[in-house]
Amino acid sequence: MGRSRRLLGRPGVLAWSLYDWANSAFAVTVMAGFFPVFFKQFWSVEATAAESTFRLGMANSLASIIIVCLAPLLGALADQAGAKKRFLLFFAAMGIVMTGALYLVAMGNWVMALILYGFGVLGFSGGNIFYDALLLSVARRQHYDRVSAYGFAFGYLGGGLLFAGDVLMTLYPEAFGLENAAEAVRLSFISVAVWWALFSIPLFLLVKEPSSDNAVRKGWVSAGFRQLAGTFGKLKQLRMTFLFLLAYWCYIDGVDTIVRMAVDFGLSIGFDANNLMIALLITQFIGFPAALFFGSIGGRRGPKQGIMLAIFIYLLILVWAYHMDSVWEFYLLAMAIGLVQGGIQALSRSLFARLIPRHQSAEFFGFYNMLGKFAVVLGPMLMGWIALLTGDARLSILSISLLFILGGVLLSLVDVEAGERAAQDRDLFPS
């Protein structure tokens, strides 16, 4: 506990963690919470449940494809320009503006809703490339697990607090001076934009981005392209890093698909939207202490063991979801997801940080985010197509288990100590 207080007492660590508090409002209230419900019941009201699931899945996939194409290049450019914070500011601003603009979309205009949502996801996901890379600027290697866990824990708590307030607005709109629940949901998009903007400020003021040995004043665009081209060759030499990326690609597909499609799945099998919002709140508030717990596991037993435990629990969750038919079961599943979701995300980020050269963090985290988002291209698309072709949402959710199994098998082959030694080899990566 004393060590945790000392780490959080450092302005850079706290300010960095608060950005997760800020942008998690989008992940919870928009991506996981109100947007799927409002899209199905307000913007896409004329469509069947399967059609709206297909549309939402395709929107998530398209936004992810764009990030897949841009992430490694953006990371390389940020390394060369020494501009992680500037790139983060651009993408955060995009996400904030697009989220707020959802308030203006009229009923039935599902196309505009998906366009703004897609750009919001692009801002959220693109910003995370540079936010993740700044972990190496605010923490020492031995503290990666704990500091990464702080970020996700703050995200669960901050996102959960705002979401709780927004849920209260939708349940009791008259108490807030609103006409109905629809107006409350629309206002929640404004609240997310304000929250995201306000709590991002400490990072930009207090996190110091050290000048990189690679940073150049002129020609940084061409240098970024050259660095990107060279990274493919370096990944061949960093065999454990490459193997971890393959494992991460598989299992994070399942994690992110569950995050984005769980509420839609609950609606498709007949659960009430209000019950689903309560379940999502349960996930958020359990996720706060659970992320800290997994951070301590990473510090004591190593991040790989913690990730393997989380993968096993996710497999049990999916099998249970296939057979689920009662709301109380959905609540229990929400609790189980809350126990592992933040942990697997935090430990994956800290494990990857151990396996990459420090002076090229944004570039390598560009690849990390590219694979994560490419996985989310496949997951929602898979769920959407299976739901459309079979009309059975249960089959679509069960298929995600294959990705966790493959990810666990690949992760078991990763030798973390060998990967760390290779990443720190200065002869391989001269500055």
- The pLDDT value given to residue 364: 78
Count of Cβ atoms closer than 10 Å to residue 186 Cβ: 17
Rounded distance, CA 113 to CA 382, Å? 22
Burial class (CB in 10 A: 0-12, 13-18, 19+), 254: buried
The answer to whether the CB of 87 falls within 8 A of the CB of 145 is no
pLDDT bucket at 2, cuts 50 / 70 / 90: very low
Rounded distance, CA 300 to CA 294, Å? 10
Give the domain 12-208+215-423 fold: Growth Hormone; Chain: A; (1.20.1250)
Where do the domains of the chain lie? Answer: 12-208+215-423
- Share of residues in the chain with pLDDT > 90 (%): 21
Residue 280 has pLDDT above 50, yes or no: yes
Rounded distance, CA 154 to CA 361, Å? 23
- The pLDDT value given to residue 299: 65
Rounded distance, CA 118 to CA 352, Å? 27
Using DSSP's 3-state secondary structure scheme, residue 326 falls into: coil
pLDDT bucket at 198, cuts 50 / 70 / 90: very high
pLDDT in tens, 371-429: 766 656 666 677 767 767 777 767 777 878 888 999 999 999 999 888 888 877 643 44
pLDDT in tens, 353-382: 888 887 776 667 767 766 766 656 666 677
For the chain, the average pLDDT equals 80
- The pLDDT value given to residue 415: 92
Q: Which residues contact 21 (CB under 8 A, 6 or more apart)?
A: 154, 155, 157, 158, 159, 199
pLDDT in tens, 140-190: 777 777 788 888 788 888 988 999 999 899 889 999 888 888 899 999 999
Q: What would the two tokens of residue 324 be?
A: 């689920």
| Reported pTM | 0.72
pLDDT in tens, 332-350: 888 888 888 878 888 898 8
CA nearest neighbour of 182 among 280, 103, 264, 271 = 103
Rounded distance, CA 220 to CA 202, Å? 27
pLDDT in tens, 77-94: 666 666 788 889 999 999
CA nearest neighbour of 397 among 264, 211, 216 = 264
pLDDT in tens, 242-273: 899 889 988 988 887 787 667 667 777 777 77
pLDDT in tens, 11-35: 678 899 899 999 999 988 998 778 8
The answer to whether the CB of 72 falls within 8 A of the CB of 131 is no
Q: What would the two tokens of residue 15 be?
A: 């300010």
More confident residue, 361 or 323: 323
